[in-house]
Amino acid sequence: MAFNTTADVKLTAGDIITEALEIIGVLAEGETASTAQNTSALRSLNNIIKIYSADTQIFAQDEYTLDLVSGTAAYTLGVSNAGYIPNKVVHASLIDSSTNAEIPIRPLTREEWTSLTDKTTSGRPTQYYQQRQVVGTDLKLNLWPVPDSTTYDLKLWLQYPYRDVDATTDDVWFTQEWYMALSYELAYVLSFKYGLSLQERVLIKQSSMEYHETASSYDVDGSLYLVPETE
């Protein structure tokens, strides 16, 4: 018995679109989507990708070190420094270069940040507040207390946005376990455009949710929590 030695399958946006259109019965085996069908499906696929960006997946994270300035509490994260505009900071640690100590610092909610009565207090930063902006605007990062030394750096794990697909020939920027989730989620969205029955849409949505749950739980840190199913 001979086995293939590779596991490097990559799907393009066009592959996902074809799969989705076949699932809902718009395309038969061997048929290809029209230009209008591809344009519509590509728009829907990009909208799905933006929703999926809310998933904190390890493959969509990167490490970045931010040099802190004494007396400066507010920083921006974007193309000019991190190389992209992050969706969010997943984890942050303060590094004191004089001792090489690495100390995790705590994220603040907006309520906690606004409740700080004196945001000018100086010292070793122990907390941070991140503020997302509209599309195309850098992520804002505020530290408290305000750094009182130039020996501090901030090690950040950033979640960056999943890349758009601008053409059907573009590879989808996901690991392989997401391919079926993307295909069935797109099929579900397209099922409304092509007038599938409620029963058909429900079946497609169930499959979409199952594939999404499998993919989403595959590449994350943290503990497993079992929640009883409710009717």
Per-residue pLDDT of the chain (231 residues; tens, 9 = 90+): 788 888 888 999 999 999 999 999 999 989 999 999 999 999 999 999 999 888 878 788 899 999 999 999 999 999 999 888 999 999 999 999 888 889 999 999 999 999 999 999 999 999 999 998 887 899 999 999 999 999 999 999 999 888 899 999 999 999 999 999 999 999 999 999 999 999 999 999 999 999 999 998 876 665 444 445 555
Host domain of residue 122: 58-159
- The count of residues in the chain is 231
Residue 230 within any structural domain of the chain: no
- Quick one: 80 and 151 in the same domain? yes
pTM above 0.85, yes or no: no
Same domain, 17 and 104: no
Kindly state whether residues 147 and 182 are assigned to the same domain.
no
In a domain, 5, yes or no: no
CB contact set of 129 (below 8 Å; sequence gap of 6+): 107, 108, 109, 110, 112, 113, 141, 142, 144
Residue that is last in its domain, among 116, 143, 159: 159
Instruction: For residues 147 and 169, state if they share a domain.
Output: no
Q: How far is CA 181 from CA 125, 150, 175, 177, 204, in A?
A: 41, 47, 11, 8, 11
* Same-domain check for residues 106 and 144: yes
